[in-house]
C-alpha cells in the first residue's frame, strides 16, 4: 500500500473538519523550545528531528499562514481550509539556532513571543530549577529548610519528577517569593547554564529573517497575581523595549503561562488593548474561529510522536473547536 494514501485521506478529513465558509477554523500551535536532542528533563519539548517532521507535515498538508494574515482572513471570511499558525513563547536561544533554519527549510513563518528580561544571559526561574536538579550530584535533595521537602534524585526519572514537583509547588506564588525559592534551589547545584535565552542580536536576526515578534511581558510573571499598575508596567515596558530594538510596532501579545482566570484575569485584558496590541493569545486548548475572542485566542501544544497521530490530533481539534 502506498504510504502516502493515509495522509491523502487525512488531508481530506482535515479539510472537512476545519470548516467551510464563515465557519473555517484556525489552528494555532504553541512551542517553547526545539532541543538539539531529546532531554530526559524536558520530555514535553520537541527536538530537531521531531520539529523537522512536524514542519514538513504542516508544509505538505496544511496552509501555514503568518499570524497577522490568518487573523485578517478569519475576520473577512477568506481563511483557507486547514489553516495553521506557528508560535513560540519566551525567547529561547534554540528558537534561533534550531527552529529558524527548519522553518526556513520549509518556507514557513512563525510568531515568537519574547520575555525580554531574560535576553542576553538571563535564565527563567523554572529553568533554574530544572538545571539545578539535573546537575545535583547527590541522591537526595533536601529542601526542607524552605518548606519544599526532601526529594529522591537518584536517577533520571526521579530528577525529572522532582523538578516537576518543585515547579508545581512554587509556580503560582507571588513573583518575589517564587524567584527566591528558585534561586535557593539553584544554589544547591553548580554549572547552571547562562546561554538558554536569545541575545538581542539573535532576536534582531530572527526578526530580519521574516519572523514576527510579539510581546510576552518583561519577567514572565503570573499576571493574575499582580496589581494592575505592575501588570501594566510588565506589558508596556516589554513592548517598548522590543519595538525599540527591532524598530517596528508589535501587533500581538501572548499571556505568560496563559490559562484564562488562572494566569491572567478578565480585568487585565484592557491593559493589552491599551498597550496598542491588535490581538492576544492564551494557552487555552482549542482552535480559533471568527466568533472567537480576539483577546483570548486559543492555542495547542503538540505532543504526539508520529506524523499520523499528530495529524489525527489536529483533525480532532478542528472538529471539536474549543475544548
Q: Based on the fold, state whether residues 107 and 224 are members of the same structural domain.
A: yes
Q: Based on the fold, state whether residues 166 and 314 are members of the same structural domain.
A: no
| Residue 191 grid coordinates | 554549572
- Three-state SS at 286: coil
Assess if residue 252 is contained within a domain: yes
Domain boundary (186, 219, 237) is at 186
Report pLDDT digits (tens) over 20-65: 888 999 999 999 999 999 999 999 999 999 999 999 999 999 999 9
Phi, psi of 221 (to 5 degrees): -80, 165
Q: Based on the fold, state whether residues 157 and 205 are members of the same structural domain.
A: no
Instruction: Write the Ramachandran bin of 82: left for phi over 0, alpha for psi from -120 to 50, otherwise beta.
Output: left
Q: Based on the fold, state whether residues 101 and 152 are members of the same structural domain.
A: no
Q: What is the CATH number of the domain that holds 76?
A: 3.20.20.370
Assess if residue 192 is contained within a domain: no
Total structural domains within the chain: 2
Assess if residue 19 is contained within a domain: yes
Q: Based on the fold, state whether residues 227 and 81 are members of the same structural domain.
A: yes
Per-residue confidence (pLDDT) for residue 323, from 0 to 100: 47
Assess if residue 191 is contained within a domain: no
- Three-state SS at 119: coil
Report pLDDT digits (tens) over 307-323: 999 999 999 999 987 54
Domain boundary (141, 162, 186) is at 186
Report pLDDT digits (tens) over 55-72: 999 999 999 999 999 999
Q: Based on the fold, state whether residues 43 and 182 are members of the same structural domain.
A: no
Taking the model in full, what pTM does it have? 0.95
Residue 177 burial (10 A CB sphere; 0-12, 13-18, 19+): exposed
Q: Based on the fold, state whether residues 107 and 132 are members of the same structural domain.
A: no
Question: Would you give the end-to-end CA distance of the chain in angstroms?
Answer: 35
CB 64, CB 314: distance < 8 Å: no
Q: Based on the fold, state whether residues 302 and 248 are members of the same structural domain.
A: yes
Per-residue confidence (pLDDT) for residue 1, from 0 to 100: 36
Q: Based on the fold, state whether residues 44 and 180 are members of the same structural domain.
A: no
Q: Based on the fold, state whether residues 206 and 146 are members of the same structural domain.
A: no
Assess if residue 155 is contained within a domain: yes
Element (DSSP H or E) covering residue 212:
strand 212-215
Report pLDDT digits (tens) over 109-156: 999 999 999 999 999 999 999 999 999 999 999 999 999 999 999 999
Containing structural domain, residue 164: 125-186
Nearest to 295 by CA among 71, 115, 65: 71
Assess if residue 277 is contained within a domain: yes
Amino acid at each position: 500500500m502506498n504510504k502516502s494514501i493515509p495522509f491523502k485521506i487525512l488531508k481530506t478529513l482535515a479539510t472537512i473538519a476545519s470548516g467551510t465558509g464563515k465557519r473555517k477554523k484556525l489552528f494555532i500551535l504553541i512551542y517553547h523550545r526545539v532541543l538539539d536532542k531529546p532531554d530526559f528533563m524536558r520530555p514535553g519539548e520537541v527536538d530537531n528531528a521531531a520539529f523537522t517532521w512536524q514542519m514538513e507535515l504542516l508544509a505538505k498538508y496544511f496552509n501555514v499562514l503568518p499570524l497577522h494574515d490568518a487573523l485578517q482572513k478569519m475576520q473577512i471570511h477568506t481563511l483557507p481550509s486547514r489553516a495553521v499558525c506557528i508560535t513560540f513563547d519566551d525567547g529561547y536561544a534554540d528558537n534561533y539556532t534550531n527552529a529558524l533554519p527548519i522553518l526556513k527549510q520549509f518556507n514557513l513563518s512563525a510568531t515568537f513571543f519574547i520575555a525580554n528580561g531574560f535576553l542576553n544571559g538571563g535564565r527563567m526561574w523554572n529553568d533554574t530549577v530544572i538545571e539545578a536538579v539535573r546537575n545535583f550530584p547527590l541522591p537526595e535533595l533536601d529542601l526542607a529548610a524552605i518548606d519544599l521537602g526532601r526529594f529522591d534524585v537518584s536517577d533520571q526519572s526521579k530528577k525529572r519528577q522532582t523538578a516537576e514537583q518543585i515547579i508545581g509547588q512554587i509556580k503560582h506564588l507571588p513573583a518575589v517569593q517564587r524567584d527566591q525559592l528558585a534561586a535557593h534551589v539553584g544554589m544547591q547545584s553548580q554549572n547552571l547554564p547562562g546561554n538558554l535565552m536569545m541575545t538581542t542580536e539573535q532576536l534582531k536576526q530572527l526578526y530580519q529573517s521574516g519572523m514576527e515578534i510579539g510581546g510576552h511581558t518583561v519577567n514572565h510573571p503570573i499576571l493574575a497575581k499582580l496589581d494592575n499598575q505592575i501588570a501594566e508596567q510588565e506589558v508596556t515596558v516589554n513592548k517598548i523595549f522590543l519595538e525599540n530594538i527591532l524598530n517596528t510596532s508589535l501587533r500581538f501579545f501572548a499571556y505568560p503561562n496563559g490559562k484564562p482566570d488562572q494566569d491572567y484575569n478578565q480585568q487585565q485584558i484592557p491593559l493589552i488593548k491599551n498597550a496598542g496590541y491588535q490581538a492576544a493569545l492564551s494557552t487555552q486548548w482549542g482552535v480559533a474561529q471568527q466568533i472567537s475572542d480576539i483577546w483570548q485566542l486559543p492555542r495547542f501544544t503538540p505532543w504526539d510522536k508520529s506524523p499520523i497521530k499528530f495529524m489525527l490530533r489536529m483533525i480532532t481539534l478542528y472538529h471539536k473547536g474549543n475544548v
